[in-house]
Amino acid sequence: MKQEEEIFARLVREHKSTIYTVCYMFSKDEDEVQDLFQETLINMWKGMGGFREESKIDTWIYRVALNTCLTQERKKKREVKKVPLNMDVNFFEDNDANAKQARILHQRISQLAYVDRALVMLWLDGMSYDEIGAVVGISAQNVAVKLFRIKEQLKKM
């Protein structure tokens, strides 16, 4: 059991930013991001024994994080009571041209459907179409088609 805990702790240390990035794509509310992060860690811990090493550990972690966030999003939609999100922190305080472009891109991406956001995030993270397909559960060709359509959609916003 001790060895499993050490392996898990190492995975969390090495992939903390990846997990957090996925969670952040699904919410801008700090508390909700932390909840998604913790829920992802719980699901990783539960699923560690089932990891068959048929894919890279990075792919598995992305998949667990995405599935966790998508599941939580579905649960939120089923809830009758809606609470508006309040973002008190401005992550793009710089006023230079690059910061403005980043802010505009971030705003446009946040308008996409959740699965489309995930595809864009994985692509921006430098993953190949094959890797993205493995994470999301679609073919590399389907990834290419979806990303092309998403890029066209972003241009029209």
Residue at a domain's end among 89, 115, 146: 89
- pTM value is 0.56
Q: 62 and 125 share a domain?
A: no
Return the closest-CA partner of residue 85 out of 26, 157, 12: 26
Q: 84 and 96 share a domain?
A: no
Residue at a domain's end among 41, 63, 89: 89
Q: 70 and 43 share a domain?
A: yes
Q: 103 and 139 share a domain?
A: yes
Kindly give the residue spans of alpha helices, DSSP state H, lying in 27-128: 30-47, 57-78, 97-110, 114-124
Give pLDDT tens digits along the chain (157 positions).
688 888 889 988 999 988 988 888 888 788 888 999 999 999 999 888 777 777 788 888 898 999 898 888 877 776 645 445 444 445 545 556 666 777 777 788 888 888 888 898 888 888 889 888 888 888 999 999 999 999 888 888 8
Q: 95 and 84 share a domain?
A: no
Tokens linked to 130? 């094959």
For residue 38, give its domain range.
1-89
